[in-house]
Amino acid sequence: MKQLSILLSSLLCLYTTTVAQTETYTLYNPVHIGPGIQVGYNSHATNGTLRCLGDPVCPTFDKGNGYRFGFMAIAEWMPTSWGLRGQIGYASSSAHMTTLDQQARVKNAQGAVVPLIREHAMDADLSAALLDIGLQTSFGATRLFFGPNFGYLLNPRWKSSSTIISPDNITFQSGNKDTTFLDQEIPNVNALQFGIHIGIGHHFPLNNSLVIVPELSASIPFNPVRTASDWTQTSIMLGISLRWGSGAVKEEVTHTIEMIDTIQVDSKERIGTVFIQGMNAVTKEVEEFETHKIVTETMRRTDTIKVGLPPKQPPKPIIKAYAVKDEQQEALDGITVTGQLVTEAFPILPMVFFSELNPALSPNYRQLRTIEGFSSDHLEPLVTEQHKDILNIIGERLNRNPLSTIQLRGYSDPTTEKSDCILAQQRAETIREYLSAVWNIDKTRMTVNIEKKNCMPDNPTLSRNAQGYEENRRIEISSDTKEILSPVIRTRYVELTEFSPKELYINTKGTTGENIISWNASSNLGDSTLHKQDGSMIPEWFSFSLSKEQARFVQRAQSPTLNISTIVQDSDGEMGSSNITIPISRDTTNLAIQRLSLMHFPVQRADLDKQGKSAINDFLKDLEDNASISIIGYSDNLGNAQSNIELSRERAETVHRYIQSIKPRAHIIKVDGVGSSSLPPGIISHDLPESRFLSRTVQIEIIRTWKSVQ
């Protein structure tokens, strides 16, 4: 804070003025008694210590609610602004708590094993006789009161019941979806309840003797309902009572006098002219007479007019967004992202890869604690992301096909792990144990096949480098049931094809402020931040680049606008901010794409196996004559780049010849192989072994218009 140079230039009106003088008359009744009623809301908490009744397997109750209705008699004594208050009465009080239980497993109407979901309920009657005593203070006709309260529970009872939520085919032995376990007196009950009672009320006089008093109060407990748990009941009540006043009655005359002084001071602060109201100092004098009393209240206050230098210009960034269009810079009126409808069959790579000399699952694979909420239908449309859930996809399909089995064949690398069969056995057991523990798959449905002497793969990767070695450290999964390893189908999702602009230019001309020392800017889509920039001196121009990954996020997000915000700060620590919103336009082309990526080809091989032919047959069974087909072959990045291109072209030609043999009228517009120079859709690098296996593929793409697919 800067040093103030305060000059007392003038003493304006050192005047003492009686600005207002009022007289009020009230009746003074020190005692009121009368009846009333209360309605209220009960909040119940247990801290997880109250278990379900009559059913030991269900979870505990955490909280609940209830209602309260009661009658009371109230007495109060107010000889001064402080006094005593008490009430006695009866209140009908209830409690209702629920909890869900889904530990058990049952079969639904389709024969699938699903959780048995039940809702357990506890209802209690906690009616009680009540006694509240305490202090109260008055502010005119308003009264604040507080003090201890006591209650005695009268015949407390509770009832435990359960309702089956799902599946629909399960009932209790009675044939009903619900049942009552017990209805009895509450055991281990604390019949005597005590706590604190606080509230506020207001007296509305009806005549010289009667007042009607609405009150809002709360009861906070000090002890639990039962000795065996932390179950407590907190109540909020709204009441109204009719009270009769008796005792000394005096006419009260009140005079109010206001005395205000004002001074002016000069300041070197940059505050302009400021009026500062002083603190009120009130004194009260009371004169008592036989039939009345006179109260004189005098209010004194000194106000200040502070005259300083003109205020400085506050920091305030001014920002506008631009984009380059046809080599011209124009004001940005929106962001456009365009997509096409894609239906894609993502191949399952039935392999799990392990770290060197390690039988534990790699953190690259997603390991669930519970299967609740998992669905392969909701996975990202990226084949490498789906492979992270390969064990969960297989577990889900084994549950859907209860008669199916799988075979686990374990391998170890011949160079770095000496084809260790014990290690291969441990890896297979790791997968078997995960599917059994998490997905509840019977271990008899999972066969482990391990060679006794040599556990190197039948078709190993021969590259003598780290990438080749890690491909040989794997478990291969097979099944006689086609559905277990069939592709993951995603139907008609929107894939990004184009977006603009690629660069957002932000102009800050017109920004105000003195000695700006820092700035920062960000672009946000909903709760997600896409860009951040900061610095010391704010530039006249800065830019945000929109990447393809960010454009995909913009396309998927629900927010209709991109928000760009800028904050500046000056040397005094003052800050200013500005925001602009840029509309987002999401469009979809009239093309619909269907894709099939064939199961990976063996290393250095281009022959099409039975599984690949079956996948092509299913993919092209409904092919229209006007649809166009594109066939692109790929390879991993191991070995010679030119050899990989030739191998990928040979793979594409193999698929081409097979399609012509089954669909001679198919309109094939492109057959090519790109080797490892381009990554297949959904593959972001060749760093992981699964990415390299999934790159040994041929992608078949059918291009249709919306009319042909609707």
Residue whose tokens read 């359960």: 162
pLDDT score at 404: 95
DSSP string, 212-278: EEEEEEEEEESS-SBTTS--EEEEEEEEEEEEEEES---EEEEEEEEEEEEEEEE-SSS--EEEE--
- Whether the pLDDT of residue 312 is over 70: the answer is yes
pLDDT of residue 444: 94
- Of the candidate ranges 143-157, 241-255, 380-394, 660-674, the one whose mean pLDDT is the lowest: 241-255
Predicted confidence at residue 246, as pLDDT, reads 63
For residue 602, the model assigns a pLDDT of 77
CATH class (in words) of the domain with range 598-709: alpha beta
Instruction: Tell me what the mean pLDDT of segment 539-553 comes to.
Output: 88
Burial of 709 by CB count in 10 Å (0-12 exposed, 13-18 middle, 19+ buried)? middle
The class (CATH top level) of 320-340+495-589 is: mainly beta
pLDDT band at 250 (very low <50, low <70, confident <90, very high): low
Q: Is the pLDDT of residue 281 over 80?
A: yes
Per-residue burial over 44-74, b if 16 or more Cβ lie within 10 Å, else e, is bbbeeebbbbbbeebeebeebebebebebeb
Q: What gap in Å lies between CA 71 and CA 129, rounded to an integer?
A: 10
As a whole-number percent, the residues of the chain with pLDDT over 90 amount to 40
The four Cα atoms 387, 391, 395, 400 give a dihedral, to 10 degrees, of 20
- Mean pLDDT, the chain, whole residue set: 86
Strand (E) or helix (H) holding 341: strand 335-346
Average pLDDT over residues 501-508: 91
Helix axes 641-662, 610-619, angle to 10 degrees: 60
Residue 14 has what pLDDT? 38
23 pLDDT higher than 70:
no
Residue type, 144: L
What pLDDT, on a 0 to 100 scale, did the predictor assign at position 448? 93
For residues 217-227, average pLDDT: 92
Q: Please state the rounded mean pLDDT for residues 249-271.
A: 80
Q: Are 502 and 496 spatial neighbours (Cβ–Cβ below 8 Å)? A: no
Pairing of strands 251-266, 7-10: antiparallel
**Which of 371, 372, 368 lies closest to 388 in space, CA to CA?**
368
DSSP assigned state of 382: -
Q: What is the pLDDT of residue 346?
A: 84
Rg (CA), the chain: 40
| pLDDT tens digits, one per residue of 122-169 | 899 999 999 999 999 988 789 999 999 999 999 999 898 889 889 988
Mean pLDDT to the nearest integer, 411-416: 92
Asked if residues 406 and 442 have their Cβ atoms less than 8 Å apart, the reply is no
> CA–CA separation, 105 vs 248, rounded Å?
75
CA 391 vs CA 164, 382, 386: distances in Å? 31, 16, 10
pLDDT band for 21, please (50, 70, 90 cuts). Answer: very low
Give CA–CA dist 475/48, Å, rounded. Answer: 44
CB 85 within 8 A of CB 136: yes
Can you give the residue ranges of every domain in the chain?
Answer: 7-22+251-307, 29-246, 320-340+495-589, 348-477, 598-709
Predicted pLDDT at 390: 94
Please give the pLDDT value at position 3.
39
* Reported confidence tier of residue 222, pLDDT bands at 50, 70, 90: very high
Distance (Å, whole) CA 261 – CA 281: 12
Do residues 608 and 658 make contact, with C-beta atoms less than 8 angstroms apart? yes
Residue 4 confidence (pLDDT): 38
Percent of the chain with pLDDT over 70: 93
The CA distances from residue 132 to 81, 107, 129, 185, 197, in Å, are 20, 56, 10, 26, 7
pLDDT the model gives residue 291 = 53
- pLDDT score recorded for residue 258: 87
Element (H, E) at 316: none
Residue of higher predicted confidence among 482 and 566 = 566
Average pLDDT estimate for 47-68: 82
Does residue 2 register a pLDDT over 60?
Answer: no
Helix axes 390-400, 421-439, angle to 10 degrees: 60
pLDDT tens per residue, range 508-517: 988 888 888 8
Which position has the token pair 């009667």? 210
pLDDT at 5 over 60: no
Type and span of the H or E element at 24: strand 21-27
Beta bridge partners of 663: none
Q: Which range, 32-36, 112-116, 136-140, 626-630, is most confident? A: 32-36
Contact 608/649 with Cβ under 8 angstroms?
A: no
**Token reading at 11:** 């003493």
Contact 215, 238 (CB under 8 A): yes
Confidence band of 707 (pLDDT split at 50, 70, 90): very low
Do 304 and 265 form a contact (C-beta atoms < 8 A)? yes
pLDDT for residue 10: 38
**Which residues, including other chains, have CB under 8 Å from residue 34's CB and lie 6 or more apart?**
73, 74, 241, 242, 243, 244
Provide mean pLDDT across the span 558-585: 90
Please say if the pLDDT value at position 587 is more than 60: yes
**Is 60 exceeded by the pLDDT of residue 49?**
yes
Give the pLDDT band of residue 547 (cuts 50, 70, 90).
confident
pLDDT tens, 165-218? 899 888 888 888 888 888 889 888 999 999 999 999 999 888 878 889 999 999
Highest-confidence range of 247-261, 334-348, 472-486, 585-599, by mean pLDDT?
472-486
pLDDT value at 76 more than 60: yes
pLDDT in the model for residue 18: 41
How many alpha carbons lie under 13 Å from residue 250 in its C-beta half-sphere? 15
Selecting from 3.30.1330.60, 3.30.420.40, 3.30.870.10, 3.40.50.2000, what CATH number does the domain 348-477 have?
A: 3.30.1330.60
Q: What is the pLDDT of residue 339?
A: 83
